[in-house]
């Protein structure tokens, strides 16, 4: 089987934004602030929606020493993973206090400090409604049938499957930019013939699986407006 492609939508956008051009005098900055909405499934199967603030930044031509961001009321320190600086704040039960202008404050190893601003608006994406998440055993093969309500204003969508250890073992993506093929769909079947699987992984009725349907929309080619994830537990027929 193919090796699974890891990483979320926003990560891919950041990686595609980062340039290899180091000849510019002024720092080439990236700063994005948006709300990430997600389902939470309790032990009893009840769902609730929570909201997270995502702050993410990079500079393509100078090495960053630190990044902070503030919205006038709160200040946040972003941490680096070697590629970009980011933080995820939350989860919160409401997103009202997250709306507003965020200013990113960049400090560099060998350049003057600089700033960049980005706006968080109320145009969030609620998680899609998953109407069916059914495990099927046809006597020869196992599969998972999914059905969901078509989201409004989504620019990208993909599906992931996690096992009981919370490891992603399947994604509907078969390439790094394959986020668009399901935009007009409301059904999908996870099987050995679809998507990309982790190595040496097959479905088992003895395993507990969680499906995630991720959607996002963009402000521009490298800036996210909002993102959400809907989750559902697989029920076997």
Distance CA 110, CA 125 (A): 39
Domain membership flag for residue 2:
no
% of the chain exceeding 70 in pLDDT:
86
What is the number of domains present in the chain? 2
Please report the pLDDT score of residue 3 as a whole number.
41
Pair (76, 110) in one structural domain: yes
228 lies in a domain? yes
Would you call the peptide bond into 91 cis, given omega within 30 degrees of 0 as the criterion?
yes
pTM comes to: 0.85
Are 114 and 135 within one domain? no
What CATH number should be reported for the domain holding residue 157? Answer: 2.60.40
Is the pLDDT at 178 greater than 80, yes or no? no
Could you tell me which residues are beta bridge partners of residue 226? 35, 217
Tokens of 228: 């959400």
Q: 25-29, 53-57, 70-74, 173-177: which range is least confident on average?
A: 173-177
For 105-121, the pLDDT digits (tens) are 999 999 999 999 999 99
- pLDDT for residue 12 is more than 70: no
Distance CA 162, CA 206 (A): 14
54, 85, 120 - which closes a domain: 120
Which residue among 73, 99, 120 closes a domain? 120
CATH number where 57 lies: 2.60.40.10
Is 114 part of a structural domain of the chain? yes
Write out the residue range of the structural domain in which residue 155 sits. Answer: 130-236
Domain-embedded: residue 97 = yes
Q: How far apart are CA 116 and CA 61, in angstroms?
A: 15
pLDDT band at 163 (very low <50, low <70, confident <90, very high): very high
Q: Is residue 229 part of a domain?
A: yes
């Amino acid at each position: 089987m193919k090796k699974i492609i890891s990483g979320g939508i926003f990560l891919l956008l950041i990686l595609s934004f980062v340039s290899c051009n180091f000849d510019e005098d002024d720092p080439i900055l990236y700063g994005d602030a948006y709300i990430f909405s997600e389902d939470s499934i309790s032990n009893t199967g009840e769902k609730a929606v929570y909201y997270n603030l995502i702050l993410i930044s990079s500079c393509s031509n100078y090495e960053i020493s630190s990044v902070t961001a503030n919205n006038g009321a709160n200040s946040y320190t972003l941490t680096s993973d070697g590629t970009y600086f980011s933080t995820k704040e939350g989860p919160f039960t409401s997103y009202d206090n997250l709306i507003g202008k965020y200013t990113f404050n960049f400090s560099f190893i060998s350049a003057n400090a600089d700033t960049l601003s980005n706006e968080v608006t109320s145009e969030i994406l609620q998680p899609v409604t998953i109407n069916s998440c059914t495990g099927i055993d046809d006597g020869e093969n196992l599969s998972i049938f999914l059905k969901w309500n078509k989201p409004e204003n989504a620019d990208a969508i993909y599906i992931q499957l996690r096992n009981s250890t919370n490891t992603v073992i399947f994604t509907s993506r078969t390439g790094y930019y394959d986020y668009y093929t399901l935009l007009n769909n409301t059904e999908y079947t996870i099987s050995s013939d679809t998507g990309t699987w982790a190595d040496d992984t097959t479905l088992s009725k003895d395993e507990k699986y969680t499906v995630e349907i991720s959607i996002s929309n963009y402000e521009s080619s490298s800036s996210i407006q909002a993102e959400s994830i809907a989750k559902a537990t697989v029920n076997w027929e």
